[in-house]
Structure 1
Amino acid sequence: MRGYFVGFGFIIASWLMCGSTVAIAQNYSGSESCQGCHQEIYEQYQKSGHPYKIQAVKGAPPSYPPGTSPGVPHPPHDEDWKTISYVIGGFGWKARFMDQEGYILTGENRQYNLPNSNLGKDAHWVAYEGSELSRKPYTCGDCHTTGWVATGADGPHQDGLPGIHGTWVEPGVTCEACHGASAAHVASPKEFKPTTEENCGSCHSRGDPNQIDAKGGLIRHHEQYEDLLASPHKALACGTCHDPHKSTVYQAGGYLGDDKTCKSCHQNVEIKLAAKADVACQTCHMPHAVKSATSITVTFAEGSVQKGDLRTHIHRISTDPDWKMFTDDGNFVRVDEEGKAYLTLDHACLTCHVDKDRKWAQTYAKKVH
C-alpha cells in the first residue's frame, strides 16, 4: 500500500489496496492516456528520473532521454544484456541489475555508479551488499513502480519471474503512482478528478520518519522527508520549492530557484559579506551531506569531512563547535530535545574552505548574514 504521510502537505490516505492484479489494473489507464490533455507536463516528466526507476532490458542497454543520463554502457562483467531482465535506476546516480529470473544481482562490482562532476569522479563499478556474488528478491516495487502489489515468494510474479515478489501496472514511477488510478478520470474528466495531494514522503523516506538514517559520515539516500521534518521548514510542502514533474539534475528545473523559494520568504535576510553576495542559499544551507551512490573525503585545515552526491534538506546550521551532527554510533543524525537537526560547520563551510579550520568557520559563519 502506498500511503500519504501526516501533515505538512501530506494527507493520510490509502489508494492502493491489496487485491487481485486484474482488479487493480482495471482502475488504471496508463501514463500514455495522460499525454493527450497534459502534453507539456507529460514531456517534462518523461525527462525526470521517475519513469526510469526500473525499466525492462530487451537485449540492449536501457535508454534515457537526450540531455539526461549518459546511460549504462554494459552490465556487470560476467553478464550481458541477454542475461539481464531489468535495470534499476541509471538516471542521475547509479544502476543495479536484475537477472533473467528477476532477482537483483549483489556482490562485488554489481552496482554501476554514473560519473559525478561535482565530486570529480568518473563512472565506476562498486560492490552492492557485500563482496560475495549472490542475488536477492526484488521487493522494491512500492517506490519503483506504479500499481505495485506485493505478493511474496509464492507469487504471482511480474512477467512470471520468480525473483520479483509482486506485480505492477507500469514499471517506473508514472503519473498514476502519484495521482492515483485514473481510469475513471480519463473516461469522465470533469466528474472524476485525480488526487493532487502530495505523497512524496511515502518514497523519499526510510523507516521511522522521526529518525534520519546515516552511514559512514553521511545521511543515507531517500531521507528527504525525514530531513524536512527535522528542519525549520517542516510545515512546507515539497512543491513549495520543487516542480515534481521536472528533474532536479541535468539542469531540468526541478528546483524552482532561490528567488522563488528562499528569498520569497526570507526577504529580510541579507548576505553582508560582499565576497559571498552571489552565493546561492543552498550552497551553505543544503550542502552535499547525503550519499546515494558515491562520496569523497574532503580534507581541511584540522581534519576531514565526507562530501556526498546529494544535498541535505536539514537547512539549519549550528555554530556550536561542540555539536555533533551524527549520533555516536554513526547510524542517525543527532537531534535536540525538540527534534531539531543541525548541520555542522564542517559540512556547511569547510567542504569549500579547505584551508580553514572550525574556529575560523564559527567566527566567519556568524558574519555571513
Structure 2
Amino acid sequence: MKIKNLFPIMGLVFIASSLSLTSCSNNDDPITPDPDPVPTELAFAGSETCATCHQDKYDMFIESGHPYKLNKVVDGNEPEIPWHDLGYIQLPQGKTWADVTYMIGGYGWKARWLDSNGYIMTDNNSNDDTQFNMADGTQVGYSTSHAMGTKPYDCGKCHTTGWKSTDDGGAHQDGLEGIAGEFFAGGVHCEECHGMGNIHTVTTEESDIHVDKTSELCGRCHTRNADRSIAASGGFIKHHEQYDEWLTSSHNANNVGCIDCHDPHASVKYDDKALGQGVTKACTDCHSTFNADNHGGAQLECITCHMPKASKSAIKTGDYKGDIKTHIFNINAAADGKLFNAEGTVANPEGLGMSLDYVCYQCHKDVNGLGGSQSTKTMEQLSAKATNFHGTK
C-alpha cells in the first residue's frame, strides 16, 4: 500500500525535474523573453529611437540644419541650436521668448517666429524687425503685405515631420489656430525621409524602412514652383530651389544626383566643424582633366565660378552676390547672356546656364562700377575670357 502511493509522488518529482531541465539552456541560462510583437500599423518612432542602432548617422544629423527648421519654444526658453550661443538671436522689439510659440529656422541664415496664436510674425505696422539675419546680425521686416497676427503657418510640408494640413483633416498643432496643420515633430527628422519606423525598430529588416537615394526625394522640398522653373525675385534666385536648378544642369543630364556629392545626414553649412562631411566629393574627383590654372594666379575654386552665390535667403553680400550657392553649374559664355527672364521672375529660363555677370562680377566691377573690388570688365571682355576657358593654357 505504501509502495503504491509513491508512484504519483515520484511522477510529480520527475515532471518537475523535466520542466527544470528544459526551461533553461546550459542549466543556468535565464529564460529568454518573447520578442516584442510586430506592430500591425505604421507609426512614428522618433529620431532618438533610430539612434539606438544608427548612432553615427544620428550624431551627424543632429548637427545638421534639417531638424531645426521649426523649433518649439518651451517654458519661454530660447531653443538651443548648434553653433550658436543662447542670446545671439534677437527677437522683435518688445518681445520675449514667452511671447513666441515656435522659432522658424535659426540654424544657418535667418530666424522668424510664430506668435502666441501660431501665426507668423510679420512686418505690417511693426518695427521692421520680424526677421533676424544671422550673417550680419541685422533685423528686417518680413511679409509687409500681412498684418501682424494674420499670416498662417502652412510651411509644415517641408519644415516638419509628419505634416497633415487642416485642408487634409489635420488639427491645429498645439491648439494654435495660426498653425494650419499638425505634425509629429518640428523640423525634418529621420522618418520624414525614411518613412514611419515603428515596425522597422522591431524587425530591423531593411524592407520595413524607406531608403530612397534619388534626387527626386530631395526635390520634394528643395523646390518652389510647381512646374520646376527656378523662381527669382529682386535680382536673385529665391532660396531652397537646388532641385530645380539641378534639373537644368549637365549633372542631371549625366545622372549625377544629389547624394553623389552630398551626405544628406551631415551639415554643409558647417562642414568645417560639424560631424561628417556634407559635401563628399571634390569637383576634380570627376573633372580631373580640366585646366583651371589660367586666371592670373587668383587661385579660385571650381565652385567660385560654377556655383556662384546668385541665390538669396537672408541677405545679399554684393550687387551680384547673395548668400547661397546655386546648383546650375553650367556657365553661359555669351556676352549678351541673361540669367533671368524679362520679368525677373524665373532664372535660367532657356537652360543655358549662369550668365557671366553673376559669375564674374562677384569679383570684378561692371561698367557702372557695381560688383566686386577687382578691375572693371565689360561683358564682351568677360565673354572673350570665358569662351573655351578650360581649354586654353
Do both share a fold (TM > 0.5)?
yes
- Superposed CA offset, 1:268-307 (max 9, x none): 2121417448422111100000001111343xxxxxxx21
- Note if contact 2:239-2:311 (Cα within 8 Å) is conserved in structure 1: yes
- Write out per-residue CA displacement over residues 197-219 of structure 1, whole angstroms, 9 at most, x where no aligned residue: 14110000002243110011110
Provide the C-alpha distance between the structure 2 equivalents of 1:74 and 1:37, rounded to a whole number of angstroms: 38
Partner SS state of residue 347, structure 2: coil
Equivalent in the alignment of 1:33 = 49
Specify the code of the residue in structure 2 equivalent to 1:49.
Answer: G
Deviation of the 1:151 alpha carbon: 1.3
Question: How far apart, in 2, do the equivalents of 1:74 and 1:271 lie?
Answer: 43
Decide which structure has greater helix share: 2
1:123/1:285 Cα in 2 relative to 1: closer, same or farther (>3 Å)? Answer: same
* Structure 1 pair 280–269 and aligned structure 2 pair: CA distance change class (3 A): same
Cα distance, 1:61 vs. partner? 1.6
- Corresponding residue for 2:243? 225
Amino acid at match of 1:163: G
Q: Residue by residue, what CA displacement relative to the aligned partner does 1:167-190 show, whole Å, maximum 9, x if unpaired?
A: 111111000011111111001102
Question: Where does 1:174-193 land on structure 2 (aligned, <5 Å)?
Answer: 174-190=189-205, 192-193=207-208
Q: What is the CA distance between 1:73 and its match in structure 2?
A: 3.0
Q: In the superposition, relative to structure 1, how do residues 192 and 282 fare at CA in structure 2: closer, same or farther (>3 Å)? A: same
SS in 1 for 2:246: helix
SS at match of 1:307: coil
* 3-state SS, counterpart of residue 87 of structure 1: strand
3-state SS, counterpart of residue 109 of structure 1: coil
**Alpha-carbon distance between aligned partners in 2 of 1:99 and 1:157, rounded to the nearest angstrom:** 14
- Report the counterpart of residue 256 of structure 1 in structure 2: 280
Correspondent of 2:359 among 348, 356, 360: 348
Match of 2:371 in 1: none
Match of 1:124 in 2: 138
Structure 1 residue 192, shift from structure 2 partner: 3.8
User: Is the CA contact 1:314–1:341 (under 8 Å) kept in the aligned structure 2?
Assistant: no
Picking from 47, 53, 74, the partner of 2:63 is 47
Q: Secondary structure at the match of 2:251?
A: coil
> How far apart are residue 350 of structure 1 and its match?
1.8
Residue 106 of structure 1: SS of its match in structure 2? coil
Length-normalised TM-score, structure 1: 0.83
Cα distance in structure 1, aligned partners of 2:323 and 2:182 = 31
Structure with higher strand content: 1
Superposition map of 1:236-251 within 5 A:
236-250=256-270, 251=272
Match of 1:92 in 2: 108
1:148 aligns with 2:172: no
| Cα distance in 1 for residues equivalent to 2:281 and 2:364 | 24
Whichever residue aligns with residue 362 of structure 2, its letter is T
Structure 1's unaligned 5+ residue stretches are 1-22, 116-121, 299-305
The 3-state SS of whatever aligns with 2:114 is: strand
Cα gap change, 1:345 to 1:60, in 2 (>3 Å): same
Q: Shift of the alpha carbon at 1:263? A: 1.8
CA contact (8 A) 1:110 1:128 kept: yes
Summarize the Cα distance change of 1:70–1:207 in structure 2 as closer, same or farther, 3 Å threshold. farther
Indicate the structure (1 or 2) with the bigger Cα radius of gyration: 2
Deviates more, 1:78-87 or 1:193-202: 193-202
- Confirm or deny that 1:208 pairs with 2:235: no
2:79 counterpart of 1:62: yes
Q: Residue 104 of structure 1: SS of its match in structure 2?
A: coil
TM-score calculated relative to the size of structure 2:
0.78
CA–CA separation in structure 2 for the residues paired with 1:271 and 1:70: 43
Q: Is the 8 A contact 2:89 2:106 kept in 1?
A: no
Structure 1 residue 63 displacement after superposition: 0.8
Query: Counterpart of 2:383 in structure 1: which amino acid?
Result: Q
Q: Kindly indicate whether the alpha-carbon contact (under 8 Å) linking 1:30 and 1:176 is maintained by their aligned counterparts in 2.
A: yes
> Which residue in 2 is equivalent to 1:335?
349
Specify whether residues 257 and 106 from structure 1 end up closer, same or farther in structure 2 by C-alpha distance, changes over 3 A only. same
Q: Residue 309 of structure 2 aligns to a residue in which SS?
A: coil
Which segment is superposed worse, 311-320 or 132-141? 132-141
* Range with greater deviation from structure 2 (359-368 or 278-287): 359-368
Q: Give the CA deviation at 1:133.
A: 4.3
Counterpart position of 2:173 = 158
Q: Secondary structure at the match of 1:186?
A: helix
**1:239/1:165 Cα in 2 relative to 1: closer, same or farther (>3 Å)?**
same
2:11 equivalent in structure 1: none
**Residue 154 and residue 176 in structure 1: after superposition, are their counterparts in 2 closer, same or farther (change >3 A)?**
closer
Give SS of 2:269's match: coil
Q: 1:363 aligns with which of 380, 384, 387?
A: 384
Tell me the residue number matched to 2:368.
none
Matched-pair contact (CA < 8 Å) for 1:74–1:80? no
Amino acid at match of 2:77: A
Against the structure 1 CA distance between its residues 353 and 28, is the aligned structure 2 distance closer, same or farther, given a 3 Å change threshold?
same
Asked whether the 8 Å contact 1:109–1:126 carries over to 2, the reply is yes
Going from structure 1 to structure 2, the CA distance change for 1:127 and 1:277 (only over 3 Å counts) comes to closer
Counterpart in the other structure of 2:15:
none
Distance in 2 separating the partners of 1:24 and 1:158: 26
Rounded to whole Å, the distance in 1 between the matches of 2:290 and 2:59 is: 37
Aligned pair 1:269/2:293, yes or no? no
Q: How many matched pairs? A: 327
Q: Structure 1, residues 98-135: CA drift from partner, whole Å, max 9, x if none?
A: 011111111132111102xxxxxx21111111176413
Aligned partners of 1:34 and 1:290: how far apart in 2?
Answer: 34
Contact persistence 2:236–2:322 (CA under 8 A): yes
CA RMSD of aligned residues (A): 2.3
Change (3 A) 1:161 1:296: same
